Amino acid sequence: MSTDAPMPDDTQDRREGPTRAGFVALIGEPNAGKSTLTNWMVGAKVSIVTHKVQTTRARIRGVALEGASQIVFVDTPGLFQPRRRLDRAMVAAAWGGAADADVVVLLVEAHRGVTKGVEAILERLTEIGEGRKIALAVNKIDRVKAEVLLALTKDLNERFPFEETFLISAEKGHGCATLKTWLAGQLPESPWLYPEDQIADLPMRMIAAEMTREKLTLRLHQELPYQLTVETEQWEERKDGSARIDQIVYVARDGHKGIVLGNKGETIKAISKASREELEEFLGRRIHLFVQVKVREKWLEEAARYSEMGLDFRDGNA
């Protein structure tokens, strides 16, 4: 465990002194580590994390506490060149999250350096930079040598006037506490925006759907394209304290349905089991999860599907 990891202090009142609260947008290319960093800061899994690029769709807000500050992290979709309606809606959501935030953190992968994608983001940052602080976080620092890291940070700071630069490993926690402390001090004085025990502003129905979609992505990353989504159709609270959750996996083609189901339904059973176990751990109670797979050829063109993902269907227009 990294010595940089925050340790809870139940003996101290977090709210001593003036409270601060605000929004921090994490932006960067797909797979830069935004979801991993959000989960580390919050101390719980609120954002989907897989090795497959571009898995975050909605602007997931994780709520973290640091001293008297409440930091609301906007984990945006990765910024990339959009081709489809869904891509365009995701990119619009990312820039919308950055434009609305008090502080913006650009994540750059140390081993990839200044790619064309990073260059495009830097150009766009100049448009939203006024009135908010923008910091640089070079992530995955354990993958490069010190001299490469120093050259990269020098290059990036020459390209854009960042407020601060942080060298981190979101996966291992290195440098994350230092970044969290700095962010807490940059937020405006304000009452807290959420209750102290709330870690996300997404409905549990959506968090549950994201957990199942993560398991699908992990299991089917080589066979299945991104043309699937998961919706929580029903959530029934039971008298014994458990909950029944009914979900639907929408796919675009009949062939995709067979892949998701697997031989004799083995694949969807394994995915459902893994999702149920994670939900039970997350919620601390028994969950009865039922997952169906349905073909919906035009779901990528349906406004209702975008609303379920927290995206604006209109942003997908060319």
- The b/e string for 152-177 (b: 16+ C-beta within 10 A; e otherwise) is bbeebeeeeebebebbbbbebbbbbb
Determine the Cα–Cα distance for residues 184 and 84; give it in Å rounded to an integer. Answer: 37
User: Under 8 Å CB-to-CB from 145, ≥6 apart: which residues?
Assistant: none
Q: What is the pLDDT of residues 201-210, one digit of tens each?
A: 566 777 788 8
User: Under 8 Å CB-to-CB from 208, ≥6 apart: which residues?
Assistant: 232, 235, 245, 247, 275, 279
Q: What is the pLDDT of residue 8?
A: 39
Position 44 confidence tier, pLDDT thresholds 50, 70, 90:
confident
Q: Is the pTM of this model over 0.85?
A: no
pLDDT at 74 over 80: no
pLDDT at 316 over 70: no
Give me the domains of the chain, ranges plus CATH numbers.
Answer: 20-186 (3.40.50.300), 204-316 (3.30.300.20)
Determine the Cα–Cα distance for residues 62 and 180; give it in Å rounded to an integer. Answer: 13
Determine the Cα–Cα distance for residues 161 and 159; give it in Å rounded to an integer. Answer: 7
Determine the Cα–Cα distance for residues 66 and 171; give it in Å rounded to an integer. Answer: 20
SS3 93: helix
Position 5 confidence tier, pLDDT thresholds 50, 70, 90:
very low
Instruction: Please state, for a pLDDT cut of 70, what percent of the chain lies above it.
Output: 69
Amino acid letter for position 187: L
